[in-house]
Amino acid sequence: MRKLFQGVVVVLLVGQLAVAQQKSGYKLPQMPQKESKQLGFIVDPDLFQEVKMDFPMASGKFEPTWESIDKNYGEAPAWWRDAKFGIFIHWGPQASGMSGDWYARNIYREETDAYKNHLVNFGHPSEVGYKDVLHKWNPTDWDPAKLVKAYYDAGFRYALIVGVHHDNYDLWNSKYQPWNAVNVGPKKDFLAGWKKELQKKGMRFGVSFHHEYTWWWWQRAFLADKSGPKVGIPYDAAKLTLKDGKGKWWEGLDPQRLYGKPMNYSNLVNEGKPYILEDIAFGRKGIFGNDLDYAYWYATQWAMRMEDVIDNYDPDFIYTDGNGPHPFSGIRSASGYKCDAAARVIAHFYNKSAAANKGKIDKLAIIKFSPAYKGVGTTFEGSFPKGIKSDQTWMADRAVGDWFYRPGFVYDAGAVVRTLLEDVSRDGNLTLCVSLTPQGAMDEGSAKMLKEIGAWMSVNGEGIYGSKAWKVYGEGVMVKDPKNPDSPEKLKGMPGGKLDKPHAEFSFSTKDFRFTEGKNGSVYAWCMTVPMGEEMIRIRSLGQKAGLTQQTISKVSILGNNSSVEWKQDSEALAIRCPEKMDFKHAVCFKIDFK
């Protein structure tokens, strides 16, 4: 395969340089309609020279390279460490399907629950497609003031709000995407509404962008049912044009600006069978050589939509979804193109922050699964590092149930608390998705769970907010990985993935601890379950033999309990006798002070 395309590389690179010189300025050019010269699929991104984009960028010390960003950034803002716990407001019109994540894509896949639910609730996607879901979406219960109060009371100190998901629909008054929440559907600027209420509570405000790989994510929408009464009838994305909207509610809106365009690579096969385009992109690598003009346009509008939010909504941090070293790297979900658009946007973000704050950078950019650049945070979606990770700013992002709403989620405050402890003990933050209903409210289960989390945080927050990892992140029961029985034992910890029944039912013993260190120098030892009254617990990491602290312990107390605590440090452990009454839930914090 590699040899097949080596002959087109020179033509490819020359063509890209020409394209790069032709497009500039704030005015977004029209979407290219014709395919580029037939160059095929470039399997190896190393054979494709990175394109230098030319969309506008704020001037300053940050250049659009990862080296410049790494060199000039400095330390992450103090507010990020202080906050520790955030809400991921992962919400939008895809909640309408009440079918969980990726609803918009899955209504064009016959085998999915989303497709079946769409038939019942909206109609067949050849007649009533996702554009019509947008038109009908009307979240009448959305009350940002009420929701932000509930989030603050639950202990969250920042919010990460979806600005645009893979569905390509902007949830703000977007300059560069006419398919947005002010033009289509509810006629609301959701980012503005969220930010206003978050500022009242002193909560930091972040925006997430998930439209990097929308161009292949939508490819199923250009197909048709393979069986049943509508077999072979194209879905709406495959047959509608701008002209077809005349006299209809979507007059003047080009469906291609929502769905993108079909991309055909009949010359690319795997074991004699054609590849499905999204299978190429998701988990593999390559450049879509037949659509280079479109690729340039796509990367430009991707970036300008992000800069629109940066310039007009002034977020404290931004997050880009994807599954590669960075967006538009030609690898995994960033397949399709290779350019410096992501570095250019982040340089713009940081240069504007420096100009507004006398050279100080008070912002943070996060890229999902980013390599360890100093100026870019990374993520652990549904997981956490194996140990303490202090070489890079990071957050764990977890969903309770799923990333979009569906009935039947298991809401368990204890699962959230113990997941939070797994993250902060490793020197990270937890950003938690608690899905809202299609109408924009919390259901009864999520509201109850957040109140319970808030009650726990009101007692234990001093060991969370502003904390950092201690010398070790934890101790406790050692277990074998059932998937790798020959691997060494590891410390027992919370399961990965979305928080559900297995997490609610997961149990720890009173041997299992996680640790944090507060700004005051105290060590907080978190027992991952609630000991019995008068139970003697032993913390080996605080024994003299462990050698993890040279300081003398002066006091041991329990957060949320005023009773005096009997304790003794010997060579093997710090032994603590629990009070007679242990009226706690989920996890108990032993505060260790030193002379």
Q: Are strands 566-569 and 269-270 parallel, antiparallel or unpaired?
A: unpaired
User: Which range has the worst mean pLDDT, 27-41, 147-161, 209-223, 380-394?
Assistant: 27-41
Q: Write down the pLDDT at residue 372.
A: 87
CA–CA separation, 467 and 309 (whole Å): 31
**Confidence band (pLDDT; 50, 70, 90) for 276?**
low
What would the mean pLDDT of 323-335 be, rounded to a whole number? Answer: 88
Q: Write down the pLDDT at residue 263.
A: 81
Closest by alpha carbon to 131, among 188, 183, 208? 183
Give the H or E element holding residue 523.
strand 523-527
**Confidence band (pLDDT; 50, 70, 90) for 486?**
confident
What does 160-193 look like in DSSP terms, one character per residue?
EEEEE-TT--BSS--SS-SSBTTTSSS---HHHH
Eight-class DSSP state of 382: T
481 pLDDT more than 90: no
CA–CA separation, 113 and 116 (whole Å): 5
Place of tokens 């077999």: 231
Percent of the chain residues past pLDDT 90, beyond the cut: 83
**Confidence band (pLDDT; 50, 70, 90) for 277?**
low
User: Which range has the worst mean pLDDT, 157-166, 271-280, 322-331, 490-499?
Assistant: 271-280
Q: Write down the pLDDT at residue 311.
A: 97
CA–CA separation, 56 and 368 (whole Å): 24
Give the H or E element holding residue 525.
strand 523-527
Closest by alpha carbon to 341, among 370, 378, 302, 285? 302
The first and second tokens of residue 408, run together, are 């039947």
Digit-coded pLDDT (tens) for 246-267:
999 999 999 999 999 988 766 5
Digit-coded pLDDT (tens) for 291-309:
899 999 999 999 999 999 9
**Confidence band (pLDDT; 50, 70, 90) for 288?**
confident
CB 307 within 8 A of CB 315: no
What would the mean pLDDT of 346-372 be, rounded to a whole number? Answer: 96
518 pLDDT more than 90: yes
* 60 C-beta neighbours (distance < 10 Å), count: 16
User: Looking at domain 396-429+436-442+465-595, which CATH architecture does it have?
Assistant: Sandwich (2.60)
Tell me how far the alpha carbon of residue 76 is from its chain's centroid: 18
Q: Write down the pLDDT at residue 287.
A: 87
What would the mean pLDDT of 442-467 be, rounded to a whole number? Answer: 98
Collapsing DSSP to helix, strand or coil, 494 comes out as: coil
Q: Write down the pLDDT at residue 6.
A: 32
Q: Write down the pLDDT at residue 373.
A: 86
Q: Write down the pLDDT at residue 73.
A: 97
User: Does the global pTM surpass 0.85?
Assistant: yes
pLDDT mean across residues, the chain: 92
CB 180 within 8 A of CB 192: no
Intra-chain end-to-end CA distance of the chain, in Å: 67
User: Which range has the worst mean pLDDT, 323-327, 351-355, 402-406, 514-518?
Assistant: 323-327
**Confidence band (pLDDT; 50, 70, 90) for 279?**
low
Q: Write down the pLDDT at residue 41.
A: 79
The first and second tokens of residue 280, run together, are 């190429």
Q: Write down the pLDDT at residue 359.
A: 94
User: Which range has the worst mean pLDDT, 5-14, 226-235, 493-502?
Assistant: 5-14
Percent of the chain residues past pLDDT 70, beyond the cut: 92
Give residue limits of the domains in the chain.
Answer: 2-55+220-289, 396-429+436-442+465-595
Q: Which residues pair with 89 in a beta bridge?
A: 161
Q: Write down the pLDDT at residue 333.
A: 85
